[in-house]
Every structure is written in C-alpha cells, then in structure tokens.
C-alpha cells in the first residue's frame, strides 16, 4: 500500500475544489480534470493554476505542504492573467464573483480540516522523538507539543518523564509544566476537557507522584512535597472513574498528603486525629513503601531513604497520639521495624545517600525505645 502524506490531502482538496467551481465530477465520464476555465471562462486563471497543481498525478509536482498551498491561495489573484496584464481590472462577472466567494468559504473549511490533520501528525511526531535525544531538546519539543494541543495529556507526561530521567524536578521545572497545566486544566476550562477522563486521571497521578518523590528532594521536606502533591491526588479521588487502574493507589497517597496537610503543616488546626485516621495513615504508608519499588529514577535509592526517614520521623513524632487513639503497639512496632529493615538493606556508595542512611539507623534504637516507653506509660503495650 502506498504511503500517504499532506500531498495526498492536497490532491483530494484540488478534486473537491474542481467539482465545486465547475460542477463537473472527475469521478464520472470523461474522468478528466480539465482546466476550469474550459467550463467557465470567467473563472480566475490563478485559481485554475492552483487546482491544476493540486491535482498533478506525480505527488512531487503538487504543493508539498499545507503552508505552501495556503500561501498560493492567499495570493492567487497575483497568478491571474488579468492581474498580470492590468492590476486595476477586476472580475466583472457576478457568476465568477459568486464562485470565488463560495470557493473561499469551502476552502476555509477544507483547509482547516487539513491543518488539523497535519497538526495531529506533527503532535504524534513530537511525542515520539527518540529517547536518545538530549534533555534540552526533548523538553523544548514536548513544550511545543503542549502548545499545539494543550488539552491532550500525552506531551505533559512525556515532559514529566524527561524531568525524572534527568534526575531533577526543581522549582524552575515545576513552574514550566504548571504554567501549561494551569492554563489548560483550570476550573474555568472544564468545558474543554473531561475531568472524569482516564487520560486526565493519569496526568494528575503522574504529577502527584513526581511532586511526592522528586520535587527538590534535597531541599524540601516530605511535608512540603506532600502539600505540592495533594491537589493532584485529590482530583483523582474526586473525579476519576473507579475503572482507573491507579485510583486505589491515588487514594493512599492522598491520605498521606491529607494527614500532613491537616495535622503536620497546619499549626492552627485544633482537630485531633482519631484511630480511623491513623489506621488509614498506616495502611497508606504501607502502600507507599511497596509502590516505590516500581520506580527507577536515577537517584531512586536516595529517594527511598528520604521516604523512610520521613516515615520514621513522622511516626516517632506522632507516637503519643497513636497510642492514646488506640493503635496497638504491635501493629506500630511491626510496621516501623519493617521500614528500618528496608533502609538497612539498601546498599549505597554516594556520600549524601550514606549520610541519609546513617541518620535513619542511628535513630533506630532511640525511636523504638521512645515508642515503647509511651505505650508502657499509658499501659497499652
């Protein structure tokens, strides 16, 4: 089967224009595309030349792109023999004027269809660039793809992949992707996209995960990252259909983010967490440390240690509340011991990772003793 490209669409447009301005269907006898002024001498010779070029048998003899055709259509009067002889002379025939008007209207619609088709092809090419392409070029291409179709999600996810593959997601990159995201997926634009769509859910999940694990992990605390991630997981919880494969995972991450938002970051909050809150938190943290194993970020070992540190610090700080709300000592001790065990098994050689691992393990005995003592004091061990 032969390859099709923009020149194939251009041929089809030429045939359609021919039919419109002459009333003759080239698919019927005599199966020819004659110069249009043989049917109506009042028609523009410039338009005649354009149609003839569009309908050349050899694709190489046609216009090679929509841009080239568009330029010709915008300047077709200059190709007209009348124009060349005397620019002041106008078409006198009402029929000719009407034909040109109808042609222009139809042409606008058809050209728009062709432009859409070409844009779709360009978008596909942009998001399919080689994985070996350098980071800066990938980012630039994905950003251009987003500008082309701001409500399609594939280029956003490709851009996030480029960030993570590069091992960084800092404030500058956050501002870059969020400038596009906020313009397209705001509440004011909900008529432009389906907020319950699986593609939107997937984009929000990838954004949430990227903020949760990668956002300036060397500078920002787990608290700061969860606050950044929370809106994206919240969007999934509130809007994604139950058929979305990661909805349960998103619920778990949302629970962690909400706990930090309500009980760690909010100093003015007087609401106390209850047993159900902590049961949900522990279950969600367990899901989190299991889920992180699937990621292959360049600095994933450091990220894991950062998460383990945040979890052990959080549970140590919340030890009394965990106790008095009725969380059993064995449940808490078993979980935090598992976190320490995972940290111990990680083998690292880089200084910053070694320092992170050392901090976690150096506090292991202190934290476990403090937790045990709280339960002993409250008589609940």
Can you tell me the distance from the alpha carbon of 279 to that of 149, in angstroms, rounded to the nearest whole number? 43
Q: 326: pLDDT confidence band, cut at 50, 70 and 90?
A: very high
**Confidence tier at 178 by pLDDT (50, 70, 90):** very high
Residue of higher predicted confidence among 357 and 32:
357
The token pair at 287 is 């899901």
Answer yes or no: is pLDDT of 99 > 70: no
The residue among 273, 268, 263, 381 whose CA lies nearest residue 332 is 381
Residue with the larger pLDDT of the pair 67 and 368 = 368
Q: From residue 374, give the alpha-carbon distance in Å to each of 112, 264, 278, 357.
A: 71, 20, 16, 26
pLDDT at residue 49 tops 60: yes
pLDDT at residue 91 in the model = 42
**Of the candidate ranges 68-82, 183-197, 285-299, 319-333, the one whose mean pLDDT is the lowest:** 68-82
| Mean pLDDT value across residues 330-345 | 96
Residues 199-219 pLDDT 10s: 999 999 999 999 999 998 667
- Is residue 198 scored above 90 in pLDDT? yes
Question: What distance in Å separates the CA atoms of residue 65 and residue 9, rounded to the nearest whole number?
Answer: 10
pTM flag (> 0.75): no
Which has more pLDDT, 267 or 108? 267
Asked which of 77-91, 229-243, 260-274, 303-317 is least confident by mean pLDDT, the reply is: 77-91
- Rounded to the nearest integer, the mean pLDDT of the chain is 86
**pLDDT of residue 3 exceeding 90:** no
How large is the average pLDDT for residues 247-263? Answer: 95
Residue 102 predicted with pLDDT over 60: no
Q: Which of 109, 194, 105, 182 is nearest to 146 (CA)?
A: 182
Interior angle at CA 350, CA 348 and CA 353, nearest 5? 65
| pLDDT number for residue 212 | 94
């Amino acid at each position: 089967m032969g390859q099709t490209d923009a020149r194939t669409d251009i041929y089809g447009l030429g045939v359609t224009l021919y039919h419109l301005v002459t009333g003759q269907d080239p698919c019927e006898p005599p199966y020819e595309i004659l110069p249009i002024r043989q049917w109506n001498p009042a028609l523009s010779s410039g338009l005649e030349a354009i149609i003839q070029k569009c309908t050349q048998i050899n694709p190489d003899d046609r216009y090679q792109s929509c841009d080239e055709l568009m330029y010709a259509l915008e300047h077709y009067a200059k190709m007209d023999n009348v124009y060349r002889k005397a620019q002041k002379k106008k078409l006198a025939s009402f029929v000719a004027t009407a034909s040109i008007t109808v042609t222009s209207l139809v042409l606008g619609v058809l050209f728009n269809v062709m432009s859409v088709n070409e844009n779709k092809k360009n978008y596909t090419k942009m998001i399919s660039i080689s994985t070996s392409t350098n980071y800066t070029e990938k980012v630039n291409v994905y950003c251009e793809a987003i500008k082309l179709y701001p409500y399609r999600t594939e280029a956003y996810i490709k851009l996030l992949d480029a960030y993570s593959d590069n091992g960084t997601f800092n404030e500058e990159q956050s501002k870059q992707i969020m400038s596009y995201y906020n313009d397209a997926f705001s509440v004011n634009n909900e008529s432009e996209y389906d907020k319950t769509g699986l593609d939107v859910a997937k984009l929000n999940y990838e954004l949430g995960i990227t903020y949760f694990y990668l956002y300036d992990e060397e500078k920002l605390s787990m608290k700061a990252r969860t606050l950044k991630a929370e809106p994206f997981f919240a969007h999934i919880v509130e809007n994604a259909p139950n058929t979305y494969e990661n909805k349960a995972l998103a619920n778990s991450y949302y629970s962690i983010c909400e706990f930090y938002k309500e009980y760690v970051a909010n100093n003015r909050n007087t609401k106390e967490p209850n047993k159900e809150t902590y049961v949900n938190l522990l279950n969600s943290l367990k899901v989190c440390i299991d889920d992180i194993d699937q990621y292959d970020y360049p600095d994933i070992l450091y990220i894991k240690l950062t998460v383990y540190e945040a979890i052990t610090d959080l549970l140590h700080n919340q030890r009394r509340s965990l106790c008095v709300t009725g969380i059993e000592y064995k449940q808490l001790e078993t979980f935090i011991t598992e976190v320490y065990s995972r940290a111990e098994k990680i083998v690292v050689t880089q200084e910053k990772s070694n320092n992170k691992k050392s901090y976690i393990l150096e506090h292991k005995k202190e934290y476990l003793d403090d937790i045990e003592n709280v339960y002993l004091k409250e008589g609940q061990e």
